[in-house]
Amino acid sequence: MRLFWISAVIAGAGTLLAGGGGTAPGQGPFAEKAALEAHAAAVQAFARAQGFLTAKPTDPAAVRPRALRPEPSPEGIVELPSPFPAHEYLLQPTGWQQGTGSRRLTVYPGALGTERDRGVLLVVTTTADERDVESYPAPFRNGALQLVAATGDVLTLRDETGRTLSFDVSARRFMP
Contacts by 11-20 with C-beta closer than 8 Å and gap 24+? 13/37, 13/38
Assess 36 for contact with another protein (CB under 8 A): yes
> Least distance from C-beta 55 to another protein, angstroms?
10
Considering only the stretches 3-11, 91-99, 145-153, 156-164, report the one whose residues sit in contact with another protein under the rule CB under 8 A. 91-99
Residues 136-175 that bind another protein (CB under 8 A): none
**Are the C-beta atoms of residues 109 and 147 closer than 8 Å to each other?**
yes
* Ramachandran sector of residue 111 (left: φ over 0; alpha: ψ -120 to 50; beta: rest): beta
Which residues, other chains included, contact 19 with Cβ-Cβ below 8 Å and sequence gap of 6+?
A: none
Backbone angles phi, psi at 4, to 5 degrees: -60, -45
Among 1, 70, 151, 161, binds another protein (CB under 8 A): 70
d(CA 148, CA 154): 11
| Near another protein by CB under 8 A: residue from 1, 3, 11, 48 | 48
Nearer residue to another protein within complex by CB, 37 or 156: 37
Q: Would you tell me which residues interact with another protein (CB under 8 A)?
A: 17-25, 29-30, 32-33, 36-37, 39-40, 43-44, 46-51, 54, 56-57, 60, 63-68, 70-71, 73-74, 78-83, 85-88, 90, 93, 95, 97, 104, 106, 113, 124, 126, 131-133
